[in-house]
Amino acid sequence: MSDPLLKLLQKPLFDPEKRYRVSLREYMDLNIDRMRAIIGNGLMTNAMWLSQPRQSEFRLMLERAALIGAWDYSLIACIVDHFIAGDAFFAHGSQRQIAQYQQEICQLDAVYAFGCTEIASGSDVGNLQTTITHDPHNHCLILNSPTAQSCKFWIGNALHAAVVVMVLGRLIVKGVDVGLHWFRVPIREQENGPLLPGIRMTTCDPKGGIHANQVAGIRFCTMKLPLDALMQRYARFSAQGDFSSDIPPKERLKSAMQTFIQERLFLIAAARGGASMCAHLTYRFGSHRLVKSNEGNQPLLTKALFRQRLYVVQLKVLALKMLERAVLSRFEANWHQPARRTELHILAAIVKSVGTWLGLEVMRACRELCGSQGFHHHNQIVTLCMDHEISTTFAGDNSILCAQVARDAITRPRFASHNIAQRIESLIADQCRDSADFSHRQAVALTYARALDLILVEGERNRLVSPGTLQDILHVFSPVLHPWGLSVAGDELELRATGTRLGEIDDLLKPPPELVSAPIDAADYVERFTAALYEEA
């Protein structure tokens, strides 16, 4: 037990069975207490983000995000909601504002919520309708949700706990829309307290997953804010009430959205952690589950059909691991070079969309491979499936992110066709330029081709897996890329799905034992599930 986080997860506060014994509200409160134990002890904090004082620990923080993503995704969702609100503050606040509120964010003295998404706009952030109007006569700002479409929605942490919401909205000065800006908006005087005047809130429950995340819809009703609610690194009001900004109007949306870049790496970390957990539990289930054969009862893992399906699952998790490593290395190397920021934005879009799609494919396949045991909450797999469903549209809809990747590939040719992934990208990009447009299928394929290129380069550079296994990983991408020349996996892939190889890969992927609570991890799972039937009356 080398990581302090794993030691913390053994405390009674983190008993994994609690979520099944408490009410929804108690589960929500428990999540906040758990989040406070993690952030308050400095195990994960905004100070560990790139450009912050503890940025050398950024990789460690993402590894811990993977651990929590495998343990309870609703908890990492709550943490990320606080983090991205904090990142918006640190990216856009002045030095004076940062000095004033840095401790409450980094040590979780106050829970923050991220008030970006509106119910009608979703990922279309450019069309946000929330307004913050400058009132020069009363020297204040007026925050308002002018229509039902402009109500902030799916705002995590906000329903009960959050004391502050970081709100993205349109600043109106002298009747002119001067673009999207960030505002620090207190909504309660204390955690779980009553709402301040000018705020109305409703729950977004029932949700399909992440049940412990306090997700809310918020309407602002001409709420008065002080002028310093505006984040003032790039924009400000003078003593005379005149507005100025260091960023040209056409660049303000792009500037406001830079907080999403690092956030998206948390999504692949959590997906990789959850997918690794599911793949390991499925391997363990296959080792314990006995099926009848001519030689008598044998483990399910001895059956070729089971091994072949599980091998594909394991290859996808390996792909996730290598993709995450490749992008993380580039972020660490290039984050402080402003000229590389567009490239990092595209990498974040690639890793988030492909990572969350692959992660969910793994979890769903594992649920099926484990049959009814995969459907039992205590066995963790279906719980992870349900919670991770949100990941494909959280922090940007994957389809929209793929469109961003496609536009970049078409307008910025970047490669020399050294491998099959680069050749496929070149082919699709040429097709799109010839037609002056791209389809959804082409956008997704371009994104997967970029991801595969990153994986192949990483595989050759770090040798996490053998060349043969790297070649097998390539075939995982054939369902998306075969129309452009990537061959479909054949008999050789199935023949390589041996018990020995599956065991070797499981050793690479298995989570720390402190994260595993599923009965199917142990050989006596049948006795555990039927124990009540043998109790004396």
What integer pLDDT is reported at residue 239 of this predicted model? 84
**Residue 49 burial class via C-beta count within 10 angstroms: exposed 0-12, middle 13-18, buried 19 and up:** buried
User: Structure pTM?
Assistant: 0.94
User: What total of structural domains would you count in the chain?
Assistant: 3
Same domain for 65 and 174: no
- Decide which of 252, 270, 304 is a domain's last residue: 252
Picking from 223, 252, 281, the residue at the C-terminal end of a domain is 252
Same domain, 21 and 38: yes
Residues 94 and 121 in one domain: no
**309 shares its domain with 202:** no
164 and 248 in a single domain? The answer is: yes
Q: Within this chain, do residues 300 and 391 fall inside the same structural domain, yes or no?
A: yes
Looking at the domain assignment, is residue 528 inside a domain?
no
State the pLDDT at residue 416: 66
Q: Are residues 432 and 315 in the same domain?
A: yes
Is 290 a domain residue?
yes
C-alpha 454: how far from its chain's center?
Answer: 19
Please tell me the predicted confidence (pLDDT) of residue 528: 92
Distance between CA 422 and CA 416 in Å, rounded? 7
> Which residues have C-beta within 8 Å of that of residue 76, sequence separation ≥ 6?
65, 68, 69, 266, 270
pLDDT at 493: 81
Closest CA to 61 of 49, 78, 74, 77: 49
Q: Quick check: is 437 in a domain?
A: yes
Same domain, 191 and 336: no
Q: Do the domain assignments include residue 531?
A: no
What does each C-alpha distance from 448 to 215, 322, 400, 415, 457 come to in angstroms? 31, 14, 14, 15, 14
What confidence score (pLDDT) does residue 292 get?
85
Residue 257 within any structural domain of the chain: no
How high is the pLDDT of residue 490?
67
Instruction: Assess if residue 527 is contained within a domain.
Output: no
CA distance 38 to 420: 43
Confirm if 159 and 207 have CB atoms less than 8 A apart. no
CB 177 within 8 A of CB 171: yes
Residue 386 is assigned to a structural domain of this protein: yes
Q: Give yes or no: residues 175 and 273 share one domain.
A: no
- Examine the domain organization and report whether 430 and 471 are in the same domain: yes
Question: Per-residue pLDDT for the chain (537 aa), expressed as one digit of tens each?
Answer: 589 999 999 999 999 989 889 999 999 999 999 999 999 999 999 999 999 999 999 999 999 999 999 999 999 999 999 999 999 999 999 999 999 999 999 999 999 999 999 999 877 888 899 999 999 999 999 999 999 999 999 999 999 999 999 999 999 999 999 999 999 999 999 999 999 999 999 999 999 999 999 999 999 999 999 999 999 999 999 988 899 999 998 888 888 887 778 999 999 999 999 999 999 999 999 999 989 877 788 999 999 999 999 999 999 999 999 999 999 999 999 999 988 988 999 999 999 999 999 999 999 999 999 999 999 999 999 999 999 999 999 888 999 999 999 999 998 877 667 899 999 999 999 999 988 889 999 999 999 999 999 999 999 898 888 888 999 999 889 999 999 988 876 677 888 999 999 999 999 999 999 999 999 999 999 999 999 999 876
Query: Is there a single domain that holds both residue 446 and residue 307?
Result: yes
The pLDDT value recorded for residue 146 is 96
| CATH assignment of the domain containing 239 | 2.40.110.10
What is the per-residue pLDDT for 537?
Answer: 62
Residue 526 located in a structural domain: no
Whole-angstrom distance, CA of residue 235 vs CA of residue 246 = 6
Q: What CATH number does residue 426 fall under?
A: 1.20.140.10
Q: Domain boundary residue among 219, 252, 285?
A: 252
Strands 199-203 and 112-115: unpaired
Q: Do the Cβ atoms of 263 and 121 come closer than 8 Å?
A: no
79 plus 129 within the same structural domain? no
pLDDT computed for residue 488 by the predictor = 75
DSSP letter (8 states) at residue 195: B
Boundaries of domain holding 74? 4-106
